[in-house]
Amino acid sequence: MKRYFLLIGVFIHLSTFLVDAQSVDSILNRYNAKVSNGDIENWQKIKTAIIISEGGYSQSGYDNTPDFNPKISRISKHYWEWPDKSLLELYEDSVVVSRYYTIRGKHIFFLGNMPPVDPSPPDAENYGFGFDPMFIEFIRKKSKTITWRGIKNFDTGDCHAIEFKTKSKTWIVYFNVDTFLVDYFGGDSPDESLMLTRVEDYQPVDNFLIAMKHTSMRNGNIFTWQLYREIKLNASIDPKIFEYNQHR
């Protein structure tokens, strides 16, 4: 009799696992269909991109002593060339004040006249860069396990919580149960348990659906935000732009 109940328990456990796995695949496939014009591989057709955005950051917001004024912002210009080149320029009064290069996995940061630094920790896992669907597909392929963690309620409505566990990090992505679009990103480490990034204002861009605004919060306090103002896909980019240069 004990063996009989044990077999029933194993069957129920396996059935639950299969339902969860099927649910995860279904959720991700429906998301990809909406943002990728029916096929996630369409993102691979994007070879370059130039994005002009407006954003702001507050250390006090991150430290939970908020005096963050969302009207204070800076303009940035982001150049991408897939699969492994990126340059982020930050402007202040129309003058470049910093440059952040990501070239074939190497990170170089220039700030004013300071010597260049590599801001990434030595044991950092090399995450891909790009738009949200590219990033989700990247961590999907890197993940050791992908698990449905139930339904979580936000101001945007109920969301499926999908956990992606890679070698060094755990990500939780929240997909709206009605639209199947991403509403929030979150982490699952002690430092990030109360950190969320809200994703919103989806707009069509060249047959893709792209979230134009990202707002990151810690303990409910906004500490950074970014709003895409202009996106050019498959734009012409001078290769020299990805050569390290502090005073280009």
Per-residue HEC secondary structure of 87-112 comes to EEEEEECCEEEEEEEEECCEEEEEEC
Distance CA 211, CA 231 (A): 11
What pLDDT digit, counting tens, does each position of 80-100 carry? 998 889 999 999 888 888 999
Task: Extract the tokens encoding 69.
Answer: 């004024």
Q: Tell me: pLDDT of 131 over 70.
A: yes
- pLDDT of amino acid 83: 86
What pLDDT digit, counting tens, does each position of 19-42 carry? 454 589 999 999 999 999 888 889
Q: What is the mean pLDDT of the chain?
A: 81
Q: Tell me: pLDDT of 67 over 60.
A: no
Angle of helix 132-142 versus helix 2-35 axis, rounded to 10: 150
Bigger pLDDT: 104 vs 3: 104
Which percentage of the chain shows pLDDT scores above 70?
A: 77
Q: Tell me: pLDDT of 68 over 80.
A: no
- pLDDT of amino acid 3: 47
Written out in words, the top-level CATH class of the domain with range 2-242 is: mainly beta
Q: Tell me: pLDDT of 231 over 50.
A: yes
